[in-house]
């Protein structure tokens, strides 16, 4: 199937699917349509015409081990042999929960969900029930799902920044009643004065602070360690629940996730994506005192027909087996070394080809901020709000023509990444193709 055939497919799909796709984020703004795939194999996405693309999308960040991983495949086959049973509990939900309790610092109890959006919605309700308060505080440029409680200020327009000031709440979607905004405060990231001001004014009303400890949804923005420790102290002093949304950051830097990377432990952690290597599963984990508020122990409702589905649970156990294997993160061939190999290679290419781009990554997830100073680390959303999205799209198209797939969003900065299937040979091959794409870009 050629690119023309792919376009014909999506033209037909638009008759029965809105925009011809199953979710808005599936459209690649660089291509003008979604990527049409037939299969996946390790670090490759394979198109219907058989062409193999080195993949730096990894299923929105969910495929950390690579496609068609043998252990995950065996787990799915085990679930099939069990009859795809769901509804009754099996012994495997408890086994997975115990594994997570042993790995994630904040986890004393675990509840399974189906998506990151569901997990954040349930966690916020739980925090409100635990504290008896209404408001939540989130951060500009952080994304926590597509429900009314959090869909604010994830990709706002560039604005002038005054340190210490809060951000006006702005909904990211039509159809959200204005009343929901009354329960949301928005602060700039890495601005302790603004956070302190918010608690001075609203501390007795703030049920929870929710954040991406590594702001991957805006590319790869790190928290300052002192700032993160201060957030932990402020929320503890005011009796607010600190929620780390690690749906994206979970398992990128190690099996103890971003909270282990920073050494800061929240009250509640949300996991998803990489936990089951692309099989749908989300996790709500946290302190026993807070988690005991979930029904039927407590009064905070959470349940679902597919919660803790056997596919996701068994796939997660297989994924954790792989991630806990020696050398997956550390050593010459580990994810952290491969990350540095790739990012330093990209920087050298952009410098050699005279392309202005900031390459910024933490573990195997990264951002390409075209148009920004390569030597200056952005720390908050407004630092990257003016990035050159047109050049990013042109770059992604040039790479696509060379067999390297980058997924580009239309209204958000986005993030890219890879996984354990990308060994040194794959990384070096990618760099060669990217270099050739940059020559094409210059000639375009």
CA 48 to centroid of chain Cα atoms: 27
The answer to whether residue 349 scores a pLDDT higher than 60 is yes
Tens of pLDDT, residues 394-441: 999 999 999 999 999 987 788 999 999 999 999 999 999 999 999 999
Report d(CA 166, CA 185) in Å as an integer: 8
Q: Which helix (H) or strand (E) holds 317?
A: helix 310-323
The answer to whether residue 287 scores a pLDDT higher than 90 is yes
State the Cα angle at 145 between 143 and 146, rounded to 5°.
120
Among 130, 122, 137, 265, CA closest to 201: 137
Domains of the chain: 3-68+329-443 (3.90.1150.10), 70-323 (3.40.640.10)
| Residue 192 burial class via C-beta count within 10 angstroms: exposed 0-12, middle 13-18, buried 19 and up | middle
Tens of pLDDT, residues 102-153: 999 999 999 999 999 999 999 999 999 999 999 999 999 999 999 999 999 9
Report d(CA 241, CA 312) in Å as an integer: 28
DSSP states of 116-129 as a string? HHHHHHHHHHHHHH
Q: Quick one: pLDDT at residue 410?
A: 84
Helices (H) and strands (E) in the chain, counts: 14, 18
pLDDT band at 43 (very low <50, low <70, confident <90, very high): very high
Helices in 167-281 by DSSP H: which ranges? Answer: 192-202, 225-238, 257-262
Q: Is the dihedral of CA 398, 401, 406, 409 positive or negative?
A: positive
Q: What is the pTM of this model?
A: 0.97
Cα Rg of the chain, angstroms: 21
Q: How far apart are the first and last CA of the chain?
A: 26
pLDDT band at 443 (very low <50, low <70, confident <90, very high): confident
Q: Is the dihedral of CA 245, 248, 251, 257 positive or negative?
A: negative
Task: Look up residue 137 and give its two tokens.
Answer: 């505080």
Q: Choose the weakest-confidence range: 1-10, 37-46, 97-106, 306-315.
A: 1-10
| Cis bond before residue 393 (omega within 30° of 0) | no
Q: Is the dihedral of CA 22, 27, 33, 36 positive or negative?
A: negative
Report d(CA 242, CA 233) in Å as an integer: 10
* Phi, psi for residue 67 in degrees, rounded to 5: -75, 150
Q: Quick one: pLDDT at residue 1?
A: 47
State the Cα angle at 22 between 21 and 27, rounded to 5°.
45
Among 250, 256, 311, CA closest to 275: 250
Report d(CA 93, CA 96) in Å as an integer: 5
To the nearest whole number, what is the mean pLDDT of the chain?
A: 96
Contact status, residue 311 vs residue 114, Cβ threshold 8 Å: no
Contact status, residue 270 vs residue 243, Cβ threshold 8 Å: yes
């Amino acid at each position: 199937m050629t690119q023309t055939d792919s376009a014909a497919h999506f033209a037909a799909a638009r008759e029965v699917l809105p925009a011809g796709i199953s979710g808005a984020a599936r459209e690649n703004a660089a291509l003008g349509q979604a990527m049409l795939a037939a299969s996946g194999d390790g670090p490759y996405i394979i198109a219907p015409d058989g062409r193999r693309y080195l993949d730096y999308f990894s299923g929105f960040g969910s495929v950390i081990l690579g496609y068609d991983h043998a252990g995950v495949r065996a787990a799915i086959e085990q679930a099939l042999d069990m009859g795809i049973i769901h509804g009754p509990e099996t012994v495997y939900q408890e086994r997975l929960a115990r594994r997570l309790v042993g790995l994630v610092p904040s986890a004393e109890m675990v509840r399974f969900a189906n998506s990151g959006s569901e997990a954040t919605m349930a966690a916020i309700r739980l925090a409100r029930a635990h504290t008896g308060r209404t408001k939540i505080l989130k951060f500009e440029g952080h994304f926590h799902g597509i429900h009314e409680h959090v869909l604010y200020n994830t990709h706002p327009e560039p604005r002038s920044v005054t340190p210490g000031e809060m951000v006006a709440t702005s909904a990211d979607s039509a159809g959200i009643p204005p009343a929901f905004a009354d329960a949301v405060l928005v602060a700039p990231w890495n601005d302790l004065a603004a956070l302190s001001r918010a608690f001075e004014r609203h501390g007795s009303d703030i049920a929870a602070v929710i954040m991406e400890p590594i702001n991957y949804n805006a590319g790869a923005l790190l928290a300052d360690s002192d700032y993160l420790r201060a957030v932990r102290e402020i929320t503890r002093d005011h009796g607010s629940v600190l929620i780390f949304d690690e749906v994206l950051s979970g398992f990128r830097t190690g099996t103890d996730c971003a909270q282990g990377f920073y050494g800061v432990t929240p009250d509640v952690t949300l996991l998803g994506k990489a936990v089951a290597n692309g099989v749908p599963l989300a996790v709500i984990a946290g302190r026993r005192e807070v988690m005991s508020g979930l029904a039927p122990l407590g009064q905070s409702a959470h349940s679902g027909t597919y919660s803790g589905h056997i596919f996701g649970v068994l796939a997660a156990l297989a994924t954790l087996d792989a991630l806990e294997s020696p050398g997956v993160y550390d050593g010459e061939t580990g994810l952290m070394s491969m990350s540095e190999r790739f990012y330093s290679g990209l920087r050298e290419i952009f410098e050699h080809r005279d392309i202005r781009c900031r390459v910024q990554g933490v573990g195997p997830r990264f951002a390409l901020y075209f148009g920004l100073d390569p030597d200056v680390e952005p720390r908050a959303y407004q630092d990257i709000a003016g990035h050159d999205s047109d050049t990013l799209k042109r770059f992604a198209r040039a790479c696509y023509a060379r067999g390297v797939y980058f997924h580009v969003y239309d209204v958000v900065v986005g993030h890219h990444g890879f996984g354990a299937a990308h060994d040194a040979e794959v990384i070096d091959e990618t760099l060669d193709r990217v270099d050739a794409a940059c020559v094409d870009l210059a000639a375009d």
